[in-house]
Amino acid sequence: MNNNKKTLRLLYGGKSAEHEVSMRTALSVINALNFTKFNVFPVYISKAGKWFTGPQINGKIKNINELIFTENGHDQSIIPAQFFASITDDEVVFPLLHGPNGEDGTVQGLLELLNVAYVGNGVAASAVGMDKVFMKQVFAQHGLTQPNYVYFMRQEWNEDQEQVCSKIETTLGYPCFVKPANLGSSVGISKCMSKDDLKQAMNLAYEYDRKVIVEEGIVGREIEIAVLGNDEPRCSIAGEIVPKTDFYDYNAKYEDDSTDLLIPAKVSETVYEQLTEMSIKAFQAIDGSGLVRADFFVTEQDDIYINEINTMPGFTPVSMYPLLWKQSGLEYSELIESLVDLAIERHVEQQKIKHTME
Ligand SMILES: Nc1ncnc2c1ncn2[C@@H]1O[C@H](COP(=O)(O)OP(=O)(O)O)[C@@H](O)[C@H]1O
Ligand SMILES: [Mg+2]
């Protein structure tokens, strides 16, 4: 009997467009875990946002369906606050959730409130990382070079579309990228070459958010760096995304095999140094913890623009983040263990904070 065995609660699924991606991640993580080190318990969140627990997982799993628990299956849905209130100090929650309602600080807030150790970024870091406008404002404050952008609330768009369009045309021109402020996986994102494109793109983006950001199009390679750590974050080698489509859209990400990941990316030592410097700066700018993936555009002239950071990047073994670490010498299962250790480290640190004036 191993007394140092940690209990790991995996949170996956989620009320999110990235539900399926999360399911695949959960399967991969489970199959990489060392069951002599961890007691593993699943917590499935349905697309409707209901939470379900399942029995302890003691070995590898073949099918995603084995991870889906609903009213008709193993257990009744739980009340998250009640459930997590009863978990003990030596347990760690690993939210394998992407996008809104998971990567955006909401789940993190719940876990924080309940004083539970959890993997990854905290409330503010997650929220800022999820909202592309807030993220860019914070980056600007820290002197990070990024594409020019403007943003508009739905109300402004509804009131005067012509004025919004002309503002975009005069400040950015074409091509430009239209994005819902709070989403991921390229959902609702369009590349626009004309005013007609722009109008369509804006209307589409407002279906997903009441805040829409528009950016100048950058012509460059897409290079990514994986960051791991808390107070002393470290960087992986660089990787390049080579989409065969016009840009790295949802299909290129998840539906087809049209994207190549080039690891290591072919960048000069100087560029790599700048990339890591900017990655750390971005991580610290949002007060990151655990992990982020920092994404850049690198132009022909080696000008570097930060595109975004992801506070819960794609995490299957064939995703960029784990692959970058693998080729930097950290295997998938070791990476998971590092993240759990970092979660505990931060939780212990948190406990030292005074909450009264005594
Ligand atoms: N300003 C830009 N210039 C050029 N390409 C862009 C720009 N913004 C986004 N893209 C393309 O769109 C993709 C998705 O945009 P991104 O902001 O990364 O959204 P998501 O958060 O959904 O990943 C990028 O990977 C890139 O291919
Ligand atoms: Mg992206």
pLDDT in tens, 56-65: 999 999 999 9
Shared-domain flag, residues 68 and 10: yes
Please identify, among 216, 235, 250, the residue that sits at the C-terminal boundary of a domain: 216
Q: Is residue 353 part of a domain?
A: no
- Distance from residue 99's CA to the centre of ligand 2 (Å): 11
Sheet holding 149-153, edge to edge: 149-153, 211-216, 176-180, 190-192
Distance CA 195, CA 266 (A): 36
Residue having the nearest C-alpha atom to atom 15 of ligand 1: 186
pTM of the predicted model as reported, rounded to 2 decimal places? 0.93
Q: Is residue 283 part of a domain?
A: yes
Domain harbouring 318, CATH code:
3.30.470.20
Distance CA 188, CA 100 (A): 14
Shared-domain flag, residues 211 and 229: no
99 neighbors 254 (Cβ within 8 angstroms): no
Domain harbouring 206, CATH code:
3.30.1490.20
Q: Give the DSSP letter of residue 71.
A: T
- Distance from residue 55's CA to the centre of ligand 2 (Å): 35
Residues 6+ apart with CB under 8 A from 66: none
Count H helices, E strands: the chain?
A: 12, 15
Closest ligand 1 atom to Cα of 149: 1
Per-residue pLDDT reduced to its tens digit, 88-141: 878 999 999 987 788 899 999 999 988 999 999 999 999 999 999 999 999 999
Q: Retrieve residue 7's tokens.
A: 């209990």
Has residue 233 got a pLDDT over 70? Answer: yes
306 neighbors 132 (Cβ within 8 angstroms): no
Mean pLDDT throughout 73-91? 74
Shared-domain flag, residues 241 and 188: no
Q: Is residue 1 part of a domain?
A: no
Domain harbouring 42, CATH code:
3.40.50.20
Question: How many domains does one find in the chain?
Answer: 3
- Distance from residue 247's CA to the centre of ligand 1 (Å): 7
Shared-domain flag, residues 69 and 106: yes
Give residue 85's domain range.
Answer: 6-118
Shared-domain flag, residues 318 and 275: yes
Strand partners, 10: 42, 94
11 neighbors 96 (Cβ within 8 angstroms): yes
| Residues whose beta carbon lies within 6 Å of some atom of ligand 1 | 147, 177, 179, 184-186, 189, 215, 217-218, 222, 247-248, 295, 307-308
Instruction: Tell me the average pLDDT of the chain.
Output: 92
- Distance from residue 266's CA to the centre of ligand 1 (Å): 20
Mean pLDDT throughout 255-284? 92
Looking at residue 108, its pLDDT comes to: 95
